Each structure stands twice: as structure tokens, then as C-alpha cells.
Structure 1
Amino acid sequence: MAQHQARKRFGQNFLTDTGIITRLVRSIAPRADDLMVEIGPGQGALTRPLMDELEHLHAVELDRDLIALLQRTLSERRLTLHQADALRFDFSTLVPEGDTRRLRVVGNLPYNISTPLMFHLISQIHVVQDMHFMLQKEMVDRLVAVPGTSDWGRLSIMIQYHCQTDFLFMVPPESFSPAPKVDSAIVRLVPHQTLPHPVTDYPRFAALVNQVFTQRRKAIRNGLKSFLAPAEIEAAGIDPGLRPEQLSLADFAALGNAAAARASHA
């Protein structure tokens, strides 16, 4: 196959380990009629085995040279390539009007865009069935974190508000070319059918979580000053002397709803 030089500015590390690829495809368990999109197909290492299982596959790729390579090597196969920046791509356009299917999203995500891409996908969660991503292990640890741990933070809370998160398996650096300097891991994200802790004002909740974690070493009474007074935090059933990482998703939802109630009476 034609060789493509990995580009640092695109954060490219191409998956080359066939054992890992087989295990990942088995974890995704594609069905022929799935509506699936791959983010960053690269040189097609995962694309080909996915296409072997699917009637059709969408792929979003920014690098024009890789688009050309994929068009040459996969020209006769059932693939629609979208030359686009995944951070700006409207994934809802891949769901045909009147189609009841939702998107299955997969990808080996560049480390340098993985966090903003997660939030971009969350903004379109209504069209997503599930997501399987290869990410820096450190980020997967944050996605699946539990309260009371150093990994628990804004990313954990905002993703777990929308999704069940599961750590699937590790991927060592030697599985890639070029080999990254960090370990990777596979995570599965499945949107909740019913939100476990719904909030009444999502933008306010998101702003509150973001604000309190800018002062994660301080008691929440400090980080929440612009949202709630200590007495209002107590009224929500939460100790204002706790630090952000000690609060559960349910606690943050309660604080978000208290802040929304306060704002509506202002």
C-alpha cells in the first residue's frame, strides 16, 4: 500500500497492530445495516475490516493526502469519504430524513483534539447510538473516573451526564506507527436512554461545573460564589466545605438545579 508520512500537526499515529484491530472490531460488533461513521480513517487500517462487516460506511478525514490514498485503495468499496474537520462537522447530516437509525461513531482520535471533539459530539448526542474511541489512556481514565479520585473532573461529569462510559482495553505504543510516547486505551460511550440526573438549565449546569473545577483544590463554597451562597449549597444537601472531586454527578446536578432556581427568582 502507498505510504503516507504521519503529520505531527494532525496528531497522526496510525494503528498497525492487526490483533488490536481485530479486538476493536469485535468490541464494536458492527451489523451490516448499521449507520456508522469513522472519524480519522487514516490509512484505512480499521476502515477495511469495518467495511467487511457493513453495507456502507461514512468516514470523516481532514488530510487531503489521506483522502486521495483512501480513494485509490478503497475506490470500489462501500465508503463515503467526507473531507472535513471533525470538530466542525455536522454528524446529524449523516442520518437520512425519516431514518430511525442512530449513528455508531468510531475512531482513533488525535490526542490534540480529543477533548473538544468529545464536547462537539455530545452537542449532537441525540443522533448517536454509541461511540468507540481509541484515546490517550490518561483521557480514558478521566472519562470513566469515579468521585473521590484525582481523575474525576469536568470531563468525567459532562460526559457521564450524557453517557455510560466503559474502559475496554489497553493499547500499547508499539501498536502504532509512529509509536506515541503514551499508552492508549479503548473506551465505549453509550448515551443514556433516560438521563439519570437531569438538570433544568443545562448551560448553567455546564458553566457551574466548569467554574468549580478551575478551583479544584478549594472548597466548593469558593468556586460557587457566583452561583450559590454557602447556605444555598447546604439547602441542596451538600457540604459547602467539600472539594469538587468529592462530589458525585448527582451532587452537581442538584447544585445546577439550585443555581437555576435561584436565577429564575432573581
Structure 2
Amino acid sequence: MAEEERTTEQHFARKRFGQNFLSDHNIIRKIIDAIRPAADDRMVEIGPGLGAMTEPLMARLDHLHVVEIDRDLIARLKTAHSPDKLTIHEGDALKFDFGSLVADGAPLRVVGNLPYNISTPILFHLADYAEQVKDMTFMLQKEVVMRMVGSPGTEEYGRLSVMLQYRFNMFRMFDVPPGAFRPAPKVMSSIVRMVPKPRAECTATDEALLGKIVTAAFGQRRKTLRNTLREFLDESGFAALGIDPGLRGERLSMEAFVGIANYVAARPAS
């Protein structure tokens, strides 16, 4: 069927929500072991689906929060689990205030099998809460994870790499094959862990400006920095920074982009 595909217990996977449900018990066990939940962790799962990760997480936690948009899945979760053990937040994770779950100074741990169709915007949304988070462990399309952990000079390296690596230490953990899901996606998945860096290591004086510069540098990947960053730097600026304007954005490290942003922010207005 075009829009939905039957999974277990008569639930239909909805393509508009990017639903692919994890069903391989060995993979599930491996993911839970990688997360290492402790009983008193303040944890939220994004997109619990049919509960493949939810139930083993609940077995180790005193309490679990979940964010789910699918009303049928919400109803199933409410029927299956007591509110004493599970708090369900109904709605779109892209609009959810994850900071509202932080209490008593305990940092939040975020986990989930993120919908592939909204993976990049949700990662940027979650980055806004980095200071309130202990770590994030996600399953994503492998192609996206490779971009998240990409190194300068590689095909995968781009805006997502720079902006996430600025705020997080990134760890690609292991791959998950399509056969671990129902319905099976057409792509390989990977598990990635994101650990927020101490605020002192995030040295951009204007992070919004850093984002604009990185976006410009990768907006037209075939063009050189001389062209993509002309709004921000002239030849004297490149010379002052010791950067070859004939390079493309993919050749610059995250630290080099921070250096550009700080130079531009400190420059007197013309």
C-alpha cells in the first residue's frame, strides 16, 4: 500500500511520520546496553513507536518520558503502561520544549529511533538544549550519521558536521541493518552518541553569526571561499586569518570556521 504498511499487532506504519519499527531483539539489547540507563536517569525517548526500546528502558528506569505524535501509538502506550512509570507527551518533537523535562538540576538524557524524514531539523532543534542535556543516543540513517561525524576534506563533511561538532563530541557506535526493522527501510542505519561539550569549549562570540557563515560556505559547495564568504571577508580578512580564499568550505576545520566568525564579529562596522 502506498501510504501505510501493516506491522505487528495490526498497526500500520505511516510514511508521513517516517515510521520504521525496530524489531530485532539482539539489536535492541545492544542499543540498550550502549545507552546504559541508570534507574534515576531523567530520560526521554523520541518516537517510542511500538515500544521496542521503551519497554527495556522502562525495565531499567524508575520513570521514562516519551514524545509521540501518532495518536494510535499514544493510545497503545496509555493502555499498556501506568503513568507512574511512563509520561507521554503528545505532539511533534520538532516543537517540543525538552527543557521542560529538566528538574532538580538533573540533566536530561535523550534517546530514540529518529524519523529519517525529519532527522536534520530535529538534531538542530535538540542542539538548542545542549546545556541541559547529559547525552543523546540516536538511531539514524547511516548517511546522516556519517555527515554528523564527517571530517574536513571528506564528501560527508558539511554544515551539519560543523554545527553539531561545535557543540557536541560525536561518537558513531555501530550500524543497524535494514532487516532489523518492520517495514524494512531501503537504507542502513547507525547508532550515534552526542555528548555536549563544556560551555567553555564553545568559543564563538556570536553563534548565530557562526551559523550564517557555515551555511554560506556550504551553500554552493563547488564555489571557493572567496565567492561564498564575500559577504563576510575580503582579501585582507583571508590574509589576516591565514586562510587561502581559493579553498572550498569542505577544507576548513570547525575551529577555522569559529576563527572566521570571531574575526568578523570583532571587526569594526564599516
Structure 1 pair 114/85, CA: closer, same or farther in 2 (3 Å)?
same
Name the counterpart of 1:213.
218
Question: TM-score by structure 2 length?
Answer: 0.95
Q: Distance in 1 between matches of 2:176 and 2:208?
A: 35
Find out whether 1:229 has 2:212 as its counterpart. Answer: no
2:154 to 129, 149, 152: 149
Name the counterpart of 1:49.
56
Which amino acid in the other structure matches residue 223 of structure 2?
K
1:62-86 deviation digits (Å, cap 9, x = unpaired): 0011000111122376000000100
> How far apart are residue 169 of structure 1 and its match?
0.3
Name the counterpart of 1:127.
132
8 Å Cα contact 1:40-1:108 kept in structure 2: yes
> How far apart are residue 235 of structure 1 and its match?
0.6
Find out whether 1:89 has 2:96 as its counterpart. Answer: yes
Q: Distance in 1 between matches of 2:258 and 2:239?
A: 14
Find out whether 1:113 has 2:118 as its counterpart. Answer: yes
> How far apart are residue 197 of structure 1 and its match?
5.0
Name the counterpart of 1:138.
143
8 Å Cα contact 1:197-1:249 kept in structure 2: no
8 Å Cα contact 1:147-1:246 kept in structure 2: yes
Question: TM-score by structure 1 length?
Answer: 0.96
Tell which deviates more after alignment, 220-229 or 196-205: 196-205
Report sequence identity in percent. 54
- Equivalent pairs counted in the alignment come to 263
Name the counterpart of 2:248.
243
Unaligned runs of 5+ in 1: none
User: Superposition RMSD on alpha carbons, in Å?
Assistant: 1.2
> How far apart are residue 219 of structure 1 and its match?
1.2
1:46-76 deviation digits (Å, cap 9, x = unpaired): 0000000000000000001100011112237
Unaligned runs of 5+ in 2: 1-7
Q: Distance in 2 between matches of 1:123 and 1:49?
A: 28
- The residue matched to 1:213 in structure 2 has which SS? helix
Which amino acid in the other structure matches residue 269 of structure 2?
H
Name the counterpart of 2:5.
none
> How far apart are residue 2 of structure 1 and its match?
3.6
1:168 to 173, 183, 187: 173
Structure 1 pair 197/129, CA: closer, same or farther in 2 (3 Å)?
closer
Find out whether 1:30 has 2:37 as its counterpart. Answer: yes
